[in-house]
């Protein structure tokens, strides 16, 4: 069988790339080793984690916030099994939707492990050991990533777990130890904290979400502490031992002292590694970096001219929307178009409550690049909308060029900022100034008024409601 494009991996990078290539007239095949399509994102990532975050958020609200709205519920309770079942149904519906899209776009789906025979032939090995070889003029590697760990930690998938197991536990932990205060650790930590677990986060860096703007990390630490999460930053984990139903984590703090943490589960969320196992890249001569990423140029083309790679398996943020954009770019490039991605405008989001969202440069990045900037900040508590809902934590911060007023970065903590951040991304795509944003009429009362006010604070230093 001969195809114009063969995509290996059906995550958001792979399946979107397959659809775009088919839309542009190519004959396309996609290979996925698991029975369901959608990759990490749909099966064990974005979608199931958000389903559990939403369920646990409803419960938390019932326990902690209904009363202030005048609603009495006699001792709210939850059925964890039902929550997990609901999550599984959400995943099933969503992955089923991808199968529908493949059929709709006449994309041939092959179930099995794809591996290179040479630069144009891919062997698909099924679960039962049988195999077939298909030929592609162009190949797109979209094999994603897997959770990484530390060399001395043995993940037993029962008590010492990764995000994959944390999404399908049979019980709510009594005390969840979370190694790594990044996005995944904080989101899954939030789920279990809301459901009554003690949650202790152990982070090597001096702040949680270390790559984000420092003000954001500070505010997020403050609000999550208020919710009862415990944080131990500047702690380097040295060992993780399981004793029966107990997990003991030892770490060294800033002063060089050994600190011991004991819990019943330990989530290891120290990042993810690009996944190329089983691809036999050497047979096609495709180069990978020392860290195992497939090497690509600006067109996401590998050193072998007809082989491309996208998403988590290449450099850059490990995010579903980044993978999708790259999938579109490669498909359009192959069709002779001139697509483009602005990697500076890929939003970063944490789905805790309040949510966190950012786009563009942090203050630290602007300082490091010697860019003269001004900052405008507006607190969520000053908004009528926030007071009406009771979601008063957080802020919006707009960073703009001191000379041109161009918006260079926007950082937010607050209710629904995961959706709000796109206003900033659109503005920055069109190189808006802080004044532009400040002069746009925003609906009232909305959380988005904080963007207008922060922009005005950055532009002329005079927010109206503060
Ligand atoms: C708990 C969690 C929460 C997350 N939440 C978010 C979020 O809210 N927003 C966000 O943007 N990102 C989130 N992410 C990250 C997101 O899931 C990834 O960035 C995204 O899935 C990467 O897409 P991809 O297409 O590159 O790879 P993947 O989604 O990893 O898909 C790769 C696919 O390739 C298949 N494959 C691998 N090798 C082969 C082979 N040889 N043959 C055939 N098939 C193969 C795999 O089975 C897999 O299905 C989250 C991740 C986790 C773990």
Task: Please confirm whether the linkage preceding 311 is cis (ω < 30° from 0).
Answer: no
The Cβ of residue 212 has, within 10 Å, a number of other Cβ atoms equal to: 22
**Two structure tokens written together for 278:** 């089983």
Tell me, in angstroms, the distance from the centre of ligand 1 to residue 267's CA.
Answer: 19
Tell me, in angstroms, the distance from the centre of ligand 1 to residue 46's CA.
Answer: 9
441 and 354 in a common domain: yes
Place of tokens 């008590």: 159
Q: Among residues of the chain, what percentage have pLDDT more than 90?
A: 100
180 and 138 in a common domain: no
Count of helix runs (H) and strand runs (E) in the chain? 14, 22
In a domain, residue 153? The reply is: no
Residue 79 gets which letter from DSSP? -
Mean model confidence pLDDT for the chain: 98
In a domain, residue 155? The reply is: no
pLDDT band at 349; cut points 50, 70, 90? very high
Q: 52 to each of 86, 169, 175, 313, how far by Cα in Å? A: 9, 11, 18, 26
3 state DSSP class of 350: strand
244 and 277 in a common domain: no
The number of the ligand 1 atom at minimal distance from the alpha carbon of 46 is 5
In a domain, residue 152? The reply is: no
The number of the ligand 1 atom at minimal distance from the alpha carbon of 31 is 43
In this prediction, residues 414-425 reach a mean pLDDT of 98
Which is nearest to 286 in space by CA: 114, 111, 39, 108? 114
359: containing domain: 345-460
Ligand 1 pocket test: pick from 13, 40, 329 the residue with the most ligand atoms within 8 Å of its Cβ: 40
In a domain, residue 405? The reply is: yes
190 and 127 in a common domain: no
Query: What confidence tens digit (pLDDT) does each residue in 107-163 have?
Result: 999 999 999 999 999 999 999 999 999 999 999 999 999 999 999 999 999 999 999
3 state DSSP class of 93: helix
Tell me, in angstroms, the distance from the centre of ligand 1 to residue 9's CA.
Answer: 9
Tell me, in angstroms, the distance from the centre of ligand 1 to residue 43's CA.
Answer: 8
Q: Is 112 annotated as a binding residue?
A: no
Ligand 1 pocket test: pick from 7, 9, 359 the residue with the most ligand atoms within 8 Å of its Cβ: 9
**Two structure tokens written together for 362:** 């942090």
**Two structure tokens written together for 268:** 């290891």
250 and 138 in a common domain: no
In this prediction, residues 202-231 reach a mean pLDDT of 97
pTM: predicted TM-score of the whole model, two decimal places:
0.97
CATH of the domain at 228: 3.50.50.60
Query: What confidence tens digit (pLDDT) does each residue in 54-72 have?
Result: 999 999 999 999 999 999 9
Tell me, in angstroms, the distance from the centre of ligand 1 to residue 14's CA.
Answer: 9
* CB-CB contact of 356 with 212 (8 Å): yes
142 and 226 in a common domain: no
**Per-position DSSP letters for 166-220, written without gaps between them:** HTT-SS--SEEEEE--SHHHHHHHHHHHHTT-EEEEE-SSSSSSTTS-HHHHHHH
332 and 187 in a common domain: no
51 and 138 in a common domain: yes
Residue 442 annotated among the catalytic residues of the structure = no
In a domain, residue 421? The reply is: yes
Q: 284 to each of 140, 275, 370, 434, how far by Cα in Å? A: 13, 17, 43, 49
Q: 91 to each of 49, 50, 160, how far by Cα in Å? A: 10, 11, 24
pLDDT band at 79; cut points 50, 70, 90? very high
Q: Is 184 in the pocket of ligand 1 (CB under 6 A)?
A: yes
In a domain, residue 71? The reply is: yes
In this prediction, residues 418-427 reach a mean pLDDT of 98
Q: Which of 326, 341, 356 is the last residue in one of the domains?
A: 341
| 373-379 sheet: strands from edge to edge | 348-350, 355-360, 407-414, 395-401, 373-379
Ligand 1 pocket test: pick from 20, 36, 46, 277 the residue with the most ligand atoms within 8 Å of its Cβ: 46
Q: Is 46 in the pocket of ligand 1 (CB under 6 A)?
A: yes
Q: Is 318 in the pocket of ligand 1 (CB under 6 A)?
A: yes
Q: Is 279 in the pocket of ligand 1 (CB under 6 A)?
A: yes
* CB-CB contact of 29 with 107 (8 Å): yes
Q: Which of 315, 341, 367 is the last residue in one of the domains?
A: 341
Q: Is 418 in the pocket of ligand 1 (CB under 6 A)?
A: no
CATH of the domain at 414: 3.30.390.30
User: How buried is 67 (Cβ within 10 angstroms: 0-12 exposed, 13-18 middle, 19+ buried)?
Assistant: exposed
Tell me, in angstroms, the distance from the centre of ligand 1 to residue 411's CA.
Answer: 26
**Two structure tokens written together for 208:** 């949680």
3 state DSSP class of 352: coil
In a domain, residue 335? The reply is: yes
Whose alpha carbon is nearest atom 50 of ligand 1?
Answer: 45
Q: Is 189 in the pocket of ligand 1 (CB under 6 A)?
A: no
How many domains in the chain?
Answer: 3
Question: What pLDDT is recorded for position 10?
Answer: 98
Tell me, in angstroms, the distance from the centre of ligand 1 to residue 162's CA.
Answer: 14
* CB-CB contact of 350 with 183 (8 Å): yes
224 and 294 in a common domain: no
**Per-position DSSP letters for 407-460, written without gaps between them:** EEEEEEEETTHHHHHHHHHHHHHTT-BHHHHHHSPPPTT-TTHHHHHHHHHHHH
Q: Is 97 in the pocket of ligand 1 (CB under 6 A)?
A: no
Which is nearest to 18 in space by CA: 359, 411, 308, 352? 308
The number of the ligand 1 atom at minimal distance from the alpha carbon of 145 is 30
Whose alpha carbon is nearest atom 26 of ligand 1?
Answer: 311
pLDDT band at 184; cut points 50, 70, 90? very high
**Two structure tokens written together for 435:** 């004044």
Strands 145-147 and 28-32: unpaired
Helices (H), 24-112: 39-44, 46-64, 80-104
Q: Is 31 in the pocket of ligand 1 (CB under 6 A)?
A: yes
In a domain, residue 465? The reply is: no
Distance of CA 361 to the CA centre of its chain: 18
Q: Is 143 annotated as a binding residue?
A: yes
303-317 core/surface letters (b: 16 or more CB in 10 A; e: else): ebebbbbbbbbbebe
d(CA 20, CA 14) in angstroms, rounded, equals 10
333 and 206 in a common domain: no
238 and 165 in a common domain: yes
Question: What pLDDT is recorded for position 374?
Answer: 98
Q: Is 144 annotated as a binding residue?
A: yes
d(CA 220, CA 356) in angstroms, rounded, equals 8
End-to-end CA distance of the chain: 66
281 and 263 in a common domain: no
Q: Is 182 annotated as a binding residue?
A: yes
Residues with Cβ within 8 Å of residue 123, at least 6 apart in sequence: 114, 115, 116, 117, 131, 132, 133
Q: Which of 270, 292, 324 is the last residue in one of the domains?
A: 270
| 258-263 sheet: strands from edge to edge | 236-243, 246-252, 258-263
Question: What pLDDT is recorded for position 230?
Answer: 98
Q: Is 125 annotated as a binding residue?
A: no
Tell me, in angstroms, the distance from the centre of ligand 1 to residue 143's CA.
Answer: 8
Q: Is 282 annotated as a binding residue?
A: no
pLDDT band at 167; cut points 50, 70, 90? very high
Whose alpha carbon is nearest atom 17 of ligand 1?
Answer: 41
Query: What confidence tens digit (pLDDT) does each residue in 310-319 have?
Result: 999 999 999 9
Q: Is 180 annotated as a binding residue?
A: yes
């Amino acid at each position: 069988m001969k195809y114009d494009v063969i995509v290996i991996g059906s995550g958001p990078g792979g399946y979107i790339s397959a659809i775009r290539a088919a839309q542009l007239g190519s004959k396309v095949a996609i290979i996925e080793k698991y029975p369901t399509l959608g990759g990490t994102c749909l099966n064990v990532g974005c979608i199931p984690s958000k389903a559990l975050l939403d369920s646990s958020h409803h419960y938390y609200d019932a326990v902690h916030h209904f009363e202030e709205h005048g609603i009495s519920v006699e001792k709210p309770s939850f059925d964890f099994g039902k929550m997990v079942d609901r999550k599984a149904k959400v995943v099933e519906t969503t992955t089923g939707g991808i199968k529908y899209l493949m059929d709709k776009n006449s994309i041939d789906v092959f179930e099995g492990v794809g591996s290179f025979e040479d630069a144009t032939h891919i062997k698909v090995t099924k679960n039962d050991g049988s195999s077939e070889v298909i030929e592609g003029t162009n190949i797109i590697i979209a094999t994603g990533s897997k959770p990484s760990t530390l060399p001395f930690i043995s993940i037993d998938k029962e008590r010492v777990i990764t995000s994959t197991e944390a999404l399908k536990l049979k019980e709510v932990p009594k005390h969840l130890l979370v190694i790594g205060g990044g996005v995944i650790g904080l989101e899954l930590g939030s789920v279990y904290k809301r459901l009554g677990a003690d949650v202790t986060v152990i982070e090597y860096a001096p702040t949680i979400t270390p790559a984000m703007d420092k003000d954001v990390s500070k505010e997020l630490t403050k609000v999550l502490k208020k919710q009862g999460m415990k944080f131990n930053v500047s702690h380097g984990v040295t060992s993780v031992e399981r004793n029966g139903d107990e997990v003991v984590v030892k770490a060294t703090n800033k002063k060089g002292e050994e600190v011991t943490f004991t819990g019943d589960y330990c989530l290891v969320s120290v990042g993810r590694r690009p996944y190329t196992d089983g691809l036999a890249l050497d047979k096609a001569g495709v180069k990978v970096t020392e860290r195992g990423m497939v090497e690509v140029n600006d067109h996401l083309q590998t050193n072998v001219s007809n082989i491309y790679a996208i998403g988590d398996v290449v450099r850059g943020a490990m995010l579903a929307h980044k993978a999708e954009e790259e999938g579109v770019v490669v498909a359009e490039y192959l069709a002779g178009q001139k697509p483009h991605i602005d990697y500076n405008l890929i939003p970063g989001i944490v789905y805790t409550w309040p949510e966190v969202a950012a786009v563009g440069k942090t203050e630290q990045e602007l300082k490091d690049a010697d860019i003269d900037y001004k900052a405008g900040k507006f607190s969520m508590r000053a908004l009528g909308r926030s007071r009406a809902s009771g979601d008063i934590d957080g802020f919006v911060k707009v960073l703009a060029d001191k000379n041109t007023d161009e918006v260079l970065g926007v950082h937010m903590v607050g209710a629904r900022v995961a959706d709000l951040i796109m206003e900033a991304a659109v503005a920055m795509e069109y190189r808006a100034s802080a004044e532009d944003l400040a002069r746009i009429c925003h609906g009232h009362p909305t959380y988005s008024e904080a963007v207008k006010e922060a922009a005005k604070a950055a532009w002329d230093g005079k927010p109206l409601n503060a």
